[in-house]
Amino acid sequence: MGSKKIKIGILSAGGDCPGINAAIRGVGKTAIVEYGMEVIGIINGFSGLVQKDTIKLNEQMLSGILTLGGTILGTSRLKPYKAGDGEDVNDKPDLIKKHYEELGLDALMCIGGNGTQTTAAMLAKEGLNVIGVPKTIDNDIWGTDLTFGFDTAVHIATEAIDRLHTTAYSHKRVMVIEVMGHHAGWIALHSGIAGGGDVILIPEIPYDLNLVNECLMERSRKKKPYSIVVVGEGIEKASKKSAGAYIAKQIRKATGLETRETILGYIQRGGSPTATDRILATRFGAYAAKMVNERRFGSMVALRNGIITSIPLDEVGGKLRLVDPTNGLVEKGRYLGVCFGDCR
Ligand code: F6P
């Protein structure tokens, strides 16, 4: 790289989450302060590389963003290797490579979820110096024990469940709350246990509605004043309704118990990150800059057994890290009598 300053490009892609700005700050400040590198931000994920839409990131730009939700760079769900509607020729990957060179980049940081890491792996195969930084509230990225965004989403969902207890008690109702997580049940499992859910339904454990309704009727027979049902959005359902609305309707129909649903939605992706997410995002970002300094490309930063490390990108793409039904937390929930919809 000669005497020219090493130049890093940073992009954030896919669904946003609290902690992305902490990661951008971690990469940027480490690169500038520790390694004397130059940093540019790429606007709105991979589309910023296709459009060559960038912004210079100096220490001033990185100041004050640690606690800020969302991403100062913006994001998009553009998949460059996927031809757009009506597009005969997909020239996006060539444009990305061309603009990577024209911008004089020595490394590209891709902060994102599964789709982003898959794209990052493909760009690495085409010779770009790429490093992946895993982020998502879903916590479903293969190769890392944890992603930032997850702790904040669990915190938000748990606080919502806490609030549902009081209104459920007042009205003697069954309260169903649907939380995010895509195909994984991590948010539902963790917020369900933290929030004292009586029933927790996750995509990874097939449920039997009869067993769910039997559990709720048993609680009613025991004069339990109310029940809380936590549902992961990705569960199987025989309806186009949202998972929460579907389960609430089935419970109401089968048991006659007064039932209401809450779809928590994008609140789980908003606002300031928890301290845990700020710390993890900072650790990931700083380590990613260190990897650039050591010219270790083609890998994703990861947390493994409490240690920050890296894993080759081609081991990550196309896989999901789902809840193992024999997971220790599921087991402890069963000890406490939590119904996962699969057994009496
Ligand atoms: O991946 C994060 C996530 O919030 C999922 O939990 C959810 O299913 C999805 O994004 C929603 O996607 P969008 O933001 O495109 O509506």
Give one DSSP letter per residue of 171-236, joined into a string: HT-EEEEEE--TT--HHHHHHHHHTT-SEEE-TTS---HHHHHHHHHHHHHTT-S-EEEEEETTS-
- CB atoms near residue 41 (< 10 Å): 24
Give the closest residue to 250 by CA, choosing from 213, 211, 206, 198.
213
Would you say 302 and 311 are in contact if contact means Cβ atoms under 8 Å apart?
yes
Tell me the pLDDT of the chain (344 aa) as tens digits: 457 899 999 999 999 999 999 999 999 999 999 999 999 999 999 999 999 999 999 999 999 999 999 999 999 999 999 988 888 889 999 999 999 999 999 999 999 999 999 999 999 999 999 999 999 999 999 999 999 999 999 999 999 999 999 999 999 999 999 999 999 999 999 999 999 999 999 999 999 999 999 999 999 999 999 999 999 999 999 999 999 999 999 999 999 999 999 999 999 999 999 999 999 999 999 999 999 999 999 999 999 999 999 999 999 988 999 999 999 999 999 999 999 999 86
Residues 282 and 235 in one domain: no
Quick one: pLDDT at residue 4?
87
Indicate if ligand 1 lies below 6 Å from the C-beta of 269. yes
Quick one: pLDDT at residue 84?
84
Indicate if ligand 1 lies below 6 Å from the C-beta of 134. no
CA of 266 to the centre of ligand 1 (A): 8
Quick one: pLDDT at residue 88?
86
**CA count, 13 A, side-chain hemisphere, 51:** 14
Residues 39 and 125 in one domain: yes
- Probe residue for ligand 1, chosen from 16, 44, 180 as the CB with the greatest number of ligand atoms within 8 Å: 180
Quick one: pLDDT at residue 319?
93
Nearest Cα residue to atom 3 of ligand 1: 15
Question: Which atom in ligand 1 lies closest to the alpha carbon of residue 233?
Answer: 8
CA of 140 to the centre of ligand 1 (A): 12
Chain-centroid distance, C-alpha 308? 18
| Boundaries of domain holding 254 | 152-269
CA of 55 to the centre of ligand 1 (A): 26
Nearest Cα residue to atom 15 of ligand 1: 15
Would you say 334 and 342 are in contact if contact means Cβ atoms under 8 Å apart?
no
Question: Which atom in ligand 1 lies closest to the alpha carbon of residue 182?
Answer: 8
DSSP label of 30: I
Residues 144 and 278 in one domain: yes
144 in a domain, yes or no? yes
Backbone φ and ψ for 209, nearest 5 degrees, come out as: -55, -35
Residues 179 and 53 in one domain: no
Give the closest residue to 268 by CA, choosing from 148, 143, 174, 179.
179
Residues 283 and 213 in one domain: no
Please give the Cα distance from 297 to 26 (Å, whole number): 18
State how far the alpha carbon of 263 is from the alpha carbons of 183, 215, 229, 250, in Å: 16, 22, 12, 16
Would you say 42 and 56 are in contact if contact means Cβ atoms under 8 Å apart?
no
323 in a domain, yes or no? no
* Residue 138: active-site member: yes
Residues 66 and 42 in one domain: yes
CA of 181 to the centre of ligand 1 (A): 8
CA of 204 to the centre of ligand 1 (A): 18
Question: CATH no. for residue 128?
Answer: 3.40.50.450
Quick one: pLDDT at residue 209?
98
CA of 232 to the centre of ligand 1 (A): 12
322 in a domain, yes or no? no
Nearest Cα residue to atom 9 of ligand 1: 182
Based on the number of CB atoms within 10 Å of its own CB, is 253 exposed (0-12), middle (13-18) or buried (19 or more)? exposed
Indicate which residue of 106, 138, 151, 277 is catalytic: 138
Residues 169 and 115 in one domain: no
Indicate if ligand 1 lies below 6 Å from the C-beta of 180. yes
Based on the number of CB atoms within 10 Å of its own CB, is 337 exposed (0-12), middle (13-18) or buried (19 or more)? exposed
Question: Which atom in ligand 1 lies closest to the alpha carbon of residue 181?
Answer: 6
Indicate if ligand 1 lies below 6 Å from the C-beta of 137. yes
- Probe residue for ligand 1, chosen from 190, 269, 320, 322 as the CB with the greatest number of ligand atoms within 8 Å: 269
Quick one: pLDDT at residue 344?
64
Q: How many separate domains does the chain show? A: 2
> Letter for the amino acid at 187?
I
Which helix (H) or strand (E) segment holds residue 309: the answer is: strand 307-312
Would you say 153 and 187 are in contact if contact means Cβ atoms under 8 Å apart?
yes
Residues 278 and 131 in one domain: yes
Please give the Cα distance from 226 to 111 (Å, whole number): 42
Nearest Cα residue to atom 7 of ligand 1: 182
Indicate if ligand 1 lies below 6 Å from the C-beta of 136. yes
State how far the alpha carbon of 303 is from the alpha carbons of 108, 144, 285, in Å: 20, 5, 12
Strand partners, 230: 177, 200
Residues 118 and 25 in one domain: yes
Would you say 344 and 211 are in contact if contact means Cβ atoms under 8 Å apart?
yes
Residues 310 and 211 in one domain: no
